[in-house]
Amino acid sequence: MLMQNNQAFENAKMTGDAIHAGQSLSSLFLTSAAETVPAGKAICWEGDEATHLFQVEEGVVRLHRIIGEGRRVITGFHFAGDLIGASLQNDFLFTAEAVTECRIRRIARKSFHEEVARSNALGPAYISLLCKEAAAAHEQMVLLSKKNAEERLCSFIVKLASRRSPQPRQGLVRVPMNRQDIADHLGLTIETVSRTITKLASRNIVVPEGRHDLRIVNLARLAQLSGDADDFSENSCHRVKLH
């Protein structure tokens, strides 16, 4: 019994340390004043020297790059609590723009890395953040290279649903970005995005409600259509470990 209690204490301590480490990275930004960024305004530009890191406090930010003939590729979206610019590159590899009106905080890159180097807790938290970014990039690569249009869109909706805030109406997912943003993120045309949403609605899987809301009627079927059915439970849109 004593050994079990000690193990429980150690497990609780490890969990507490992990939570504290995660909070500590965010706390580095609290010394700077919050800035309001209007929708459509850039926070940083591709190719500029990466002198600062940013944290999204409210709103949604899109990261994009411009490729040949002015085509836009949206590499990701960031939500409240997310950090932007954590990679070790000297220059920004993307332009970050506010999708909605945002509140952000910034910290000098030099100060950020000095604080991480001084702290035993921040180092593992920073490595964990970089690993998550690498995993997200890998998932995006698989999505663009192997999935069809329906699988891409269903994967996107499932991912949005997995990080939603509690909603007053069950199954309702807020989609702050427009359909052109979604198309540029998924490597599709806006017409394909619209057709696929209409198709899902006709099958009573996902139904649009207004300009920026989707109601998920059949989450299990949506997960199956994403191409990742084995990775999601039927009762939630979070990944589960397979045995």
User: Which residues sit opposite 77 in a β-bridge?
Assistant: 62
pLDDT in tens for each of the 243 residues of the chain? 434 444 433 443 433 343 333 447 999 999 899 999 999 999 999 999 999 999 999 999 999 999 988 899 999 999 999 999 998 789 999 999 999 999 999 999 999 999 999 988 899 999 999 999 999 999 999 999 999 999 999 999 999 998 865 444 578 999 999 999 999 999 999 999 999 999 999 999 999 998 889 999 999 999 999 987 554 444 444 444 433
Q: Do domains 2-143 and 147-231 have the same CATH topology?
A: no
Q: What is the pLDDT of residue 228?
A: 79
Architecture of domain 147-231: Orthogonal Bundle (1.10)
Nearest to 97 by CA among 165, 154, 157, 180: 180
What is the C-alpha separation between 8 and 14, in angstroms, rounded?
10
Q: What is the DSSP letter of 32?
A: S
Number of neighbouring beta carbons within 10 Å of residue 76:
17
Nearest to 76 by CA among 59, 62, 92: 62
Do residues 151 and 48 lie in contact, with contact meaning Cβ atoms separated by under 8 Å?
no
Domains of the chain, by residue range, sit at 2-143, 147-231
User: Which residues sit opposite 37 in a β-bridge?
Assistant: 102
pTM: 0.80
Q: What is the DSSP letter of 40?
A: T
Domain 2-143 sits in CATH 2.60.40.4070: no
Listed in sequence order, the residues at least 6 apart from 174 whose beta carbon sits closer than 8 Å to its beta carbon are 160, 164, 165, 167, 212, 213
Residue 93 half-sphere exposure, CB side, CA atoms within 13 Å?
11
Structure tokens at 208: 């649009």
